[in-house]
Copies of this chain bind each other. A is one copy, B any other.
Amino acid sequence: MPAPADSPWSDRPDADAERQAKRMAVLRMAARQFNENGFRATSMADVASALQVTKPTIYHYFASKDEILFECVRMGLAQIREGTARAAARGGTGLDRMQDLIHAYALAMTEDFGICVSRTGDAELSPASRAKFRALKREIDAILRGLIDEGIADGSIRAQDPQLAAFLVSGAINWIAHWYRPDGPKSRDEIAEGTVETLTRALSA
């Protein structure tokens, strides 16, 4: 007897949501621990005990430690990509849109998954995951780089070497993930605003 054509498997609509919520909880905790102690130094038992479950429970939701790390950075990259792409698609000069981009990017660098993106070295992922990771990062770099070129074209941005400028800007932003502390004196938004202000001066014509 086949299930109704419109939804095989999904007898219960909320069961799937429950599972997704638990997956997410694992990712959040894992990202936090990775950020604090490093990926290799964090054992799956550490993550499990922090969630007050045991290792096999986590492996019920994920196939491997590598998959967990990759999902973490995928989350972070998705957020960055969304913010930067939205900024690039707006109206205004290249510099105007670059300011929005920097703001969104900097904000992402103060959240668990965003920090994970910045702190995760390529070598920590499996070859397969690493390839995907690099591809996603390249996409974001391309958006940033494209906006610099547009800004140069419309005269709002000046840069001797656009490629180098792109690296330096993304470096300043990425490094936020290395010093930001939630309990620090500056709020996330103050940091993002200040970053926009300083980097704008570096880029404006």
Contact = CB atoms under 8 A, between A and B. Distances in A.
Contacts of A36: 123
Interface in A106-141: 119, 121, 123-124
A195 B165 CA distance: 8
A130 to B, nearest CB: 12
A195 to B, nearest CB: 6
Contact of A121 (B119, B169, B194): B119
A90 to B, nearest CB: 23
Given A123-B37, A159-B198, A201-B202, A164 B178 contact: no
Interface in A157-205: 159-161, 164-165, 167-176, 178-179, 186, 191, 194-195, 197-199, 201-203
Given A172-B172, A174-B171, A175-B171, A198 B124 contact: no
Interface of A: 36-38, 40-41, 119, 121, 123-124, 159-161, 164-165, 167-176, 178-179, 186, 191, 194-195, 197-199, 201-203
A141 to B, nearest CB: 10
- The dominant DSSP class at the A interface is helix
Given A175-B172, A194-B160, A202-B201, A123 B41 contact: yes
Given A119-B121, A161-B194, A201-B201, 9 more contacts: A38-B124, A159-B198, A160-B198, A164-B194, A164-B195, A168-B175, A171-B179, A174-B178, A199-B202
Contacts of A179: 167, 171
B38 A198 contact: no
A86 B150 CA distance: 39
Contacts of A194: 160-161, 164-165, 168
